[in-house]
Structure 1
Amino acid sequence: MLRENRHEQLLRVLREEGVLPIREIARRLQVSEATARRDLTDLSEAGRLTRVYGGAVAREPSERPFAEEEVDDLDAKNAVARRAAALIEDGDVVLLDIGTTTLQLARLLHGRKITVVTSNLAVYEELRDDEAPELVLLGGRVRRNYRSVVGHMTETALHALYTDRLFLGTSGVLPDGRVLDTTDVEVPVKRAMLAAARQVVLLATAKKFPGTGTARICGPDDIDVLITNEASDPATVAGFREADAEVLQV
């Protein structure tokens, strides 16, 4: 395995599982402990992980606090959320991803006789005192900065579920339709959500074309419905239509 690829694999494992000892790192990468130590030293000097006694833990990439993201581009998010809420029928079981657009959607679900499943702590806080929707909060490791839960416990819970609709968030959509996230540790949860839903609805404001992100969640073929603004990039939107996704522009 090339050194650069090995480093990316190491960081991905650390982000998903937390602190790992050197012996386990060497086993996962199929290298000697000496090579694992050199990799840890290189990544530590580059500021991408923190050495701890006997091992290492990955540093999370820079991420804006949830409160800052929540008020950004609010009119566009609200328009997308309103169209998404119109898809939900009484009795539905819906899965709400992390993010601020899904929070705006949750604010439109008060009084609805539905079941809401989420890893989004902001959605939970929004709906927790409303007795109309049934509320299911997934377990896992809490990411306080972005008010979400992640990790193998979250993924395991999702494997036991099948919902009517997933409302999926994203940090960016590339011109070829690849759906991205900025944070590696969220991607396994999002992929487990894709497998746990009959229909996948992508919520993406115009600013998300192309937006940001380096971690691939899925491609346009995995999306059943795209809800976005009228100002979104026409070529990218056309690509979703060619992939047989229904496109709803607001």
Structure 2
Amino acid sequence: MLKMKRIQQIKEYILKNQSVSLNDLVETFDVSKNTIRRDVQKLVNEGHIQKVYGGVAANHAKLEAFQDRQIRNQAQKRLIAREAASLVKDGDVIFIDSGTTTLELIHFIHNKQVTVVTNNVDFIVQAMPYKQLQVISTGGQLERKTKSFSNYSIAEEFNLYNFDKVFMASTGVSISNGVTNSSPVETSMKELVVKKGRDVFLLVDHTKFDKYAMVTYCGLDEIDYLITDDPLNTQYVNFIEQNHIKLIVATDKE
């Protein structure tokens, strides 16, 4: 196997599993421990992973590329999206945020008569065959790493929209820091969307809780529906009940 291809596969394997031992990498990729150490050091130097006791782990302190995030917890993300899509009705005007979980909505709303406003580039591309979806792009500057558009001058245009439902993504969620994002250039758009949504849905898998990123774009108490894939601890359940947030835990019903 070519070195660069192997290193890419090692990175994907670590991101998918979150943390692994060096022995696991040696066995999986059938190379010597010295080779694994060199490959791992390259990924550490690039900021993709970090060394931990007994092995290595994904580094979430930096903004990850869209394709790296997309391969992680994909089954759970699709379950979350299915639950969210079940609440979308024909005639709705909705906003779909950039993100790998929100992207999964395309699989479940493509046969509905809805208007979608989005900054999610992959959603726009995947919606091409579905003529019943009216898709409006936010436009702006292309952010290649997140496959999204950012637009500092969107405020005046967005004030014209009244969204029935907005489906938001997040890098990390906590009670103290709220709903956070790693990309400052997207923050103003996210803040405005939350204010313009009649119902605000937050779509996050279990790995996003008790973490936070660079910027907060809304408080957790500003969310109307929280859809995740695993039951939450008592602290979150109490907060959700006190703030009248509807919690939906997505499960594999099939």
**TM norm structure 1:** 0.72
Inter-partner Cα distance in structure 2 for 1:124 and 1:110: 12
Q: Deviations over 1:108-129 (max 9, x none)?
A: 1112111111011111111022
Q: Deviations over 1:10-49 (max 9, x none)?
A: xxxxxxxxxxxxxxxxxxxxxxxxxxxxxxxxxxxxxxxx
Aligned to 1:248: 248
Inter-partner Cα distance in structure 2 for 1:180 and 1:94: 21
Inter-partner Cα distance in structure 2 for 1:83 and 1:225: 11
Q: RMSD over aligned Cα, in angstroms?
A: 1.7
Aligned to 1:154: 154
Alignment of 1:170-189 (within 5 A): 170-176=170-176, 178-189=178-189
Q: Structure 1 counterpart of 2:67, which letter? A: A
Specify the SS of the correspondent of 1:79: helix
Inter-partner Cα distance in structure 2 for 1:193 and 1:167: 9
Aligned to 1:236: 236
Q: Deviations over 1:29-85 (max 9, x none)?
A: xxxxxxxxxxxxxxxxxxxxxxxxxxxxxxxx9421111111111121111101001
Specify the SS of the correspondent of 2:98: coil
2:189 maps to 1:206:
no
Aligned to 2:81: 81
Among the aligned pairs, what percent are the same residue? 27
Aligned to 1:93: 93
2:115 maps to 1:115:
yes
Is contact 2:177-2:216 (8 Å) kept?
no
Structure 1: which 5+ residue stretches go unaligned? Answer: 1-60
Aligned to 1:165: 165
Structure 2: which 5+ residue stretches go unaligned? Answer: 1-60
Inter-partner Cα distance in structure 2 for 1:115 and 1:104: 17
Task: Count residues with an aligned counterpart.
Answer: 190
- In structure 2, relative to structure 1, the CA distance for the partners of 1:120 and 1:237 (3 Å cut) is farther
- In structure 2, relative to structure 1, the CA distance for the partners of 1:238 and 1:105 (3 Å cut) is farther
Is contact 1:175-1:209 (8 Å) kept?
no
How much has 1:167 moved relative to structure 2?
0.4
- Structure 1 segments, 4+ long, off by >4 Å, are none
Aligned to 2:126: 126
Alignment of 1:127-146 (within 5 A): 127-146=127-146
Is contact 1:209-1:233 (8 Å) kept?
no
Inter-partner Cα distance in structure 1 for 2:212 and 2:200: 21
Aligned to 2:22: none
Q: Structure 2 counterpart of 1:222, which letter? A: E
Aligned to 1:191: 191
Is contact 1:191-1:217 (8 Å) kept?
yes
Is contact 1:177-1:239 (8 Å) kept?
no
Q: Deviations over 1:153-190 (max 9, x none)?
A: 33333222111000011111114361111121111110
Q: Deviations over 1:174-224 (max 9, x none)?
A: 143611111211111100111221110111111111234121111122111
Q: Structure 2 counterpart of 1:149, which letter? A: F
- In structure 2, relative to structure 1, the CA distance for the partners of 1:177 and 1:229 (3 Å cut) is farther
Inter-partner Cα distance in structure 1 for 2:195 and 2:128: 26
Is contact 1:206-1:233 (8 Å) kept?
no
Aligned to 2:6: none
2:222 maps to 1:222:
yes
